[in-house]
Structure 1
């Protein structure tokens, strides 16, 4: 009995690699959506209008307190029951991942803002700087600089968690590795190849994050 035999897997590798484009499109769109929504939720959390903060905290508790795969299945299988029409698997994945990521991103940004010296905020308020301008020009830029490593880590997490789209039939890397394994009656080798692809993606994101950190430190 051979422990590993990649001879039958090699012809399936191009098929599995075709899922890379699907994975990257889902991750990129969800990351942008999650970041923008996360900024909005952060502003709600730190808003002096308490009902907004309560809504934002409730949102965060829901999406951080339930499994991502459950959220994905509710969007893809549950929402059509309410809306009366089917949702494309790609957009269901982007929506679910974006909503989930926004909850974590909002906490990261909030922590970054809270880490800024309160004296800066007080000085801006004393000078009569409008709240939106203070956030846009003073607090948010500093917060983003401080939280960049955490945001890179969130993008890495999002990349790995994107593999759960296989449960709704989207042809990503993981889904195609399952199909390749079924075709050659040997699932381990295709899954190992899929794992290698994810590992390389994470390495690229890690190196990119370190490069951004170095650039930010140089500009200090």
Structure 2
């Protein structure tokens, strides 16, 4: 018979793991949206070189597993810093995972942002340019604000997926929420109870966030 009584005393340690998970998600989303927006603008550019570079980046990262990207960056980031600085710079699993999530999620956020930009009537760009605004001003002041309003539910939905994907950092030994629950369960000798609890937490957070996204989507539609 399963005994969940050991979970309550372990909550402080599990909360530290959850904070790591939330930090990874937040930094990955913020960096991914910024880089993804830049890539989306490049993909829509009339400059074929920029458009092809962005398309290659997106297609590449969307064609490989996230677990492989996390492992690559765990070894690649210190190597690149050593090549640039000439010194061994300690990076750590957390920083390398943030870079991996940022680079990987940017490919998906790029497609979301690109779809949002393309949903704005082209006449608005022409009207803004007729008023003397540059292309950059049009994108920054007119197109992107409207596009982000339309694509907010999709961005949040992708953020929920990233929240779930943070559990893959076990591959580099980072103590996120799932890894903390699993290790605590192994120490106490109750691995099944702690994994079930972790699964319930992931489900509760993801399901509640999905309901909020649906409500937001209905409000924006109105």
* TM-score, length of structure 2 as denominator length: 0.88
Structure 1 residue 10 displacement after superposition: 3.8
> What SS does the corresponding residue of 1:18 show, helix, strand or coil?
helix
Q: Where do residues 165-180 of structure 1 align in structure 2 (5 Å cutoff)?
A: 165-180=169-184
> What SS does the corresponding residue of 2:62 show, helix, strand or coil?
helix
> What SS does the corresponding residue of 1:119 show, helix, strand or coil?
helix
Whether 2:17 is the aligned partner of 1:19: answer yes
Q: Look up the match of 2:193.
A: 189
How many residues end up aligned between the 2 structures?
Answer: 216
Separation (CA, whole Å) in 2 of partners of 1:57 and 1:135? 20
Which deviates further from its counterpart, 42-51 or 13-22? 13-22
Separation (CA, whole Å) in 2 of partners of 1:100 and 1:199? 23
Alpha carbons 1:60, 1:103 under 8 Å: kept? yes
Structure 1 residue 188 displacement after superposition: 1.4
Alpha carbons 2:25, 2:163 under 8 Å: kept? yes
Q: Where do residues 35-50 of structure 1 align in structure 2 (5 Å cutoff)?
A: 35-50=33-48
Structure 1 residue 210 displacement after superposition: 4.3
Q: Look up the match of 1:33.
A: 31
Which residues of structure 2 form unaligned runs of 5+?
A: 83-87
Whether 2:143 is the aligned partner of 1:146: answer no
Q: Look up the match of 1:155.
A: 159
Separation (CA, whole Å) in 2 of partners of 1:79 and 1:141? 34
Structure 1 residue 136 displacement after superposition: 1.1
Separation (CA, whole Å) in 1 of partners of 2:24 and 2:150? 27
Q: Where do residues 1-220 of structure 1 align in structure 2 (5 Å cutoff)?
A: 2=1, 4-84=2-82, 85=88, 86-210=90-214, 212-213=216-217, 216=220
Structure 1 residue 183 displacement after superposition: 1.0
Structure 1 residue 83 displacement after superposition: 3.5
Separation (CA, whole Å) in 2 of partners of 1:13 and 1:196? 14
Alpha carbons 2:170, 2:179 under 8 Å: kept? yes
Separation (CA, whole Å) in 2 of partners of 1:94 and 1:201? 21
Aligned-pair Cα RMSD in Å:
1.9
Structure 1 residue 118 displacement after superposition: 2.0
Structure 1 residue 30 displacement after superposition: 1.2
Which deviates further from its counterpart, 51-60 or 113-122? 113-122
Which residues of structure 1 form unaligned runs of 5+?
A: none
Structure 1 residue 211 displacement after superposition: 5.3
